[in-house]
Chains A and B, each alone.
Chain A
Amino acid sequence: MIGENPSFSVSEFVAVFNQSLEMMYPQVAVTGEISNFRVSKGKWVYFDLKDEYSSVKFFGTVYSLPGPLEDGITCEVIGQPKLSNKYGFSINIKSIRPVGEGSLKKARDLLMAKLNAEGLFAEERKRSLAYPPSRIGLITSAESAAIADFRKIINARWPRLQIELTDTLVQGASAPAAIVKALQDFNLLSDPPEVLVIVRGGGSVDDLAAFSDESVVRAVASSRIPTLVAIGHENDISLAELAADKRASTPSNAAELLVPDAKHELLALQGLGKSLSDVLAATLKNKKNFVQEQASQLNRAIEHVLTNCAHDLANKKVLLKAFDPLSPLKQGYALVRSAKGKHIKRASQLAKAEAFSIQFTDRKIQARLAGKE
C-alpha cells in the first residue's frame, strides 16, 4: 500500500542502500569463475564472477591483481559491495587470489609466461652466492618444520654461520605482502647479509601460492642481495624459485647448498697441507742437491786455476834460477871488475898496471895487470 514502503529519491536510495550494505557487509569474499575480464587504460580492471546461476560485477585497479588473469580462472575476491550512482552494483576489489588447483596452475602459467618474456628467469641474471657466507638473512615462519630442518643441517655442517631471521607469513592472503616487506627490509639495511634465504616446507598448491605471486617474484628478482629460495618438496617449483639466484629443492637441500661440510673441508685441508709439505720437502731437497753440485763445480774450477798458476810459477822459478847471473861462477867462471867497479868483459878494457878485482865463486881477489898476450 502506498505510504507503507520507505520512499526515496534515486540518490537517496543509493545512499541508504550503501549505508545499509556498509553496516551489514562492509567487506565480503566471493568465489567464482572470472568472465568478461578486461583492463582499461592499463589501470582499471573489470570482470564478472559467475557460478552456475548468477553473475556479479567487480571493479578495481591492476595493483590488486596477483598476476595476469583471464576468463575461466576461479578466484576468491575480497572487496566492498557498493551501488554506484551511475554504473549500478559492483564489488570494489581489495584483493584477488586464484583458488583451486586448476586455477592456481593456470594463473601461475600466465604469470610465468609474462615474467619469462621480461627476462626475469634468465640464467645470465643469476649471481653466484658467497660460499660459505658468514651471515645470511632467513625469511620463513619461525615455528615451521622448514626452519627446524634448515637449522639442523646448518648446525651440523657450518655452525658458525650467523642467521638473521625474519618471522614471516608463508601462506594465506597476507603472505605475499609480508614476504615482499621482509625482502625489502633486508635490502634497505646499511650492512646487509651476504645471502637471503627463503624457505617453506611442503603444502598444497594453495598453500604455496604466495611464492608464485607476482609481487613476491618481482621482489626476489630485484633483490640487491643474492637469493636462495627453497619452497615445498622436490617437484614443487614456485616462480620465486625461478627468479632467485639459486634454487634448492627443499629447506634441507638449501642448507646443503649454502654451506660446505666443515668436517670434509678440514680433511681436505689436512690432505692439502700434507701435499704442500711433501712438495716443499722435495723442492728443498732438489735445491740443496743443485747448490751442492754447484759448490763442487766451483771448488773444482778454482782448484784447476790454482794448480795451473802453481805450475806456471814453478816453471818461471826454474827459469829465473837458470838466469842467475852468478851461477857461471860455480862452473869456474870468474867476474872481472875495474877498480871503479865496472864490469870488464874484454882484456882490451884494461891498461897495463891497472888495478882490477876478480870474483870467484868463493871470494874476490885484487890484481894488477902485468902484461897481455
Chain B
Amino acid sequence: MTKKSGEQTYQQLKTELEHILRRMQHEDTDIDEAMVLHKQGQEIIKKLEAYLKDASKKAGIK
C-alpha cells in the first residue's frame, strides 16, 4: 500500500496510542495533560478504526 509522505503507518499510530495510555496511567500525570492525552488518544483511535475499515474493504472482507 502506498503511503503519503507525513502519514503515519498503522504500527506508528498504535505505538503512539500505547504511549498515551502508559502516560495516563502514571500518577505524576497532571490532569490537564491527561485531558490533552485523552483527546489525542481518541483521535488516534478514530484513525486506527478508519485504517482497519479501509483494509477490510480492500481485502474484500466484510
- Which residues of A are in contact with B by a Cβ distance under 8 Å? 299, 302-303, 306, 309-310, 312-313, 316-317, 319-320, 323-326, 335, 343
Establish whether residues B61 and A320, one from each chain, have CB atoms under 8 Å apart when the complex forms. no
Please state if A343 and B41 are interface contacts (CB–CB under 8 Å): no
- Tier of interface size on chain B: 20 to 34
For B30, the closest partner residue in chain A by CB is A343
How far in angstroms is the closest Cβ of chain A from B15? 12
Chain A contact residues: helix, strand, loop or mixed:
helix
| B25 lies within 8 A of chain A by Cβ | yes
Q: Is the CB of B45 within 8 A of A299?
A: no
- The B interface is mostly helix, strand or loop, or mixed, namely helix
CA distance A326 to B38 in the complex (A): 10
Which A residues lie within 8 Å of B48 (CB)? 309, 313
Note all chain B residues with C-beta closer than 8 A to A299: 59-61
> Taking the nearest CB of chain A, how far is it from the CB of B45, in angstroms?
5
Q: Tell me if B31 and A343 are in contact (CB < 8 A).
A: yes
Q: How many cross-chain pairs have Cβ atoms below 8 Å apart between A and B?
A: 54
- With contacts A313-B48, A319-B21, A324-B38 known, what are 19 further pairs, Cβ within 8 A? A299-B59, A299-B60, A303-B59, A303-B61, A306-B56, A306-B59, A309-B48, A309-B52, A312-B14, A316-B21, A316-B45, A317-B45, A320-B20, A320-B38, A323-B25, A323-B34, A325-B24, A325-B34, A335-B31
In whole angstroms, how far apart are the Cα atoms of A324 and B57 in the complex?
Answer: 32
The residue from A302, A310, A312, A325 contacting B35, defined by CB atoms under 8 A apart: A325
What is the minimal beta-carbon distance from B30 to any residue of chain A, in angstroms? 6
| In contact, A325 and B21 (Cβ under 8 angstroms) | no
Q: Mark B14-28, 1 if CB is under 8 A from A, else 0.
A: 100110110011000
Query: Which residue of A is nearest B56, CB measured?
Result: A306
Whether A313 contacts B49 by the Cβ 8 Å rule is yes
Closest to A310 in B: B52
B contact residues around A326 at 8 Å (CB)? 35
